[in-house]
Amino acid sequence: MPYKSCGLENLHKFGGEIAIQPRKNLDKPHIYVRTEIVVCLNCSAAQFAIQEAELRLLQKATLLAQDESN
């Protein structure tokens, strides 16, 4: 299946860990997400999905950041 950015079929899957942090809450710890990352080796575009439990942590961190900014 061609990748939507470049239209080429050079997609490869990698395991990875990504550190995510809400932009308005840079003094708080990162949330580490372990996931499969699909990378196009032609155009360098990448995509990944976040597991439900880690998604809830991101949602909670975002709500906390919004509360602290008010």
Q: Answer for the pair 60, 28: CB distance below 8 angstroms, yes or no.
A: no
Mean pLDDT by 10 residues, the chain (70 residues): 74 92 75 91 89 88 71
Residue 28 contacts residue 61 (beta carbons within 8 Å): yes
Q: Which pLDDT belongs to residue 38?
A: 92
Contact between residue 17 and residue 32 where contact means Cβ atoms under 8 Å apart: yes
Strand-strand pairing, 11-20 and 31-40: antiparallel
